[in-house]
Chain A
């Protein structure tokens, strides 16, 4: 029920966006994240974008994962 999937915003008109995931597009309301811009990734839930994904934070998590993987190789 609380499933939300990351989708890319490819067009915006007023408070509706066209979003794309794996080549499939659909419409999403931006009422809950009005600051969204084309090119952003947002979490889509029940037809609404509920949050913009923060790329810097994602990269930080991935950096940590890379360190973890490097530790494995070092074993």
Chain B
């Protein structure tokens, strides 16, 4: 068992696709919330296996894409401060803020480092005791426990030159915001597998109980996704709404209890601004008061001009599933992966990047 090839068998995919094609019910919109699902769906050609009455919408599950310009501007401003090393994940570098990007700041002399893990940022802090290392912490519930651990490690090692800007976001409140808005009808959710590895299935129960919409927590291999869609369609045909787990090898109903313990020890929910969705109550995470000394926003005064949006960019609509990338006037013209206007084209798992690469 290698947990990869076994979930890519062609004969099973053929039969699952045949079953999906046989769906003869009402036309439905199914949303894959997670950007990693979006990429997998495109890469494996899954859209072409679906009947015309099953429409896949891409959701807001790309942390780079939903980060608001105001929050991007903070990182860029802080990176330009003397004595600061700003560390972050690679996807962030090219994302344009209101006036600039981290890549531009780096080209102009700011010390911006790409790391694979927050532990790498800790290592940079250890190697540079006279500098202040700020980790720009983006990500959903999948990533927040790892960031929490990096702070506990910094505390244990006595590294007082390490801090973070927390722009973490939470998936269930975003799903609630989508269901409360009336611009898109969503008949079922493919729920994110790795967020659910941490939070389990229970935080999604409201989707079925309150909104009557089914959801299936789904893995990322092609057979996982085909089976997840089949499970959603089975519920729709049967007139049911439940939260089911397809990705059983990685997701337990209670999630990862240890990871949640760290997450809640270090962070508390706060209101957060999402690109495309606006301000969503209790949808972000900020460091608790006990860990304020690791909070870069409380350690540094970050000032800058007010944020502004890119004219014509429809990333916000794309993130709600209200527009597909080709409906944006900039798509594949003024906005390409090399010269991106909006974050959905920059991020490797942005919806626009996936359409550009696989969907044209």
Binding site for B on A (CB under 8 A): 1-4, 6, 29, 31-34, 41, 43, 45-48, 50-51, 53-55, 57-62, 64-66, 68-69, 71-73
Contacts and interface: CB of A to CB of B under 8 A. Distances in A.
Contact of A1 (B62, B118, B152): B62
Interface of B: 1-4, 6-7, 9, 11-12, 14-16, 18-19, 34-36, 61-64, 89, 91, 116-120, 138-140, 142-143, 145-146, 149, 152, 192-195, 197-198, 223, 227, 246, 248-252, 256, 258-259, 262, 347, 349
A60 to B, nearest CB: 7
A64 to B, nearest CB: 8
A65 B118 contact: no
A7 to B, nearest CB: 9
A2 B34 contact: yes
A58 B142 contact: no
A39 B312 CA distance: 52
B258 A47 contact: no
Query: Among the interface residues B4, B143, B250, which one has the most CB atoms of the partner chain A within 10 A?
Result: B250
Give the secondary structure class of A's interface. mixed
A19 to B, nearest CB: 13
A31 B149 contact: yes
A50 B257 CA distance: 11
Contact of A50 (B1, B63, B256): B256
A64 B248 CA distance: 12
A34 B251 CA distance: 17
A50 B200 CA distance: 12
A64 B193 CA distance: 19
Nearest to B91: A1
List the 8 shortest-distance A-B pairs measured between CB atoms, nearest first: A47-B117, A72-B15, A6-B3, A58-B249, A57-B248, A48-B146, A2-B142, A2-B194
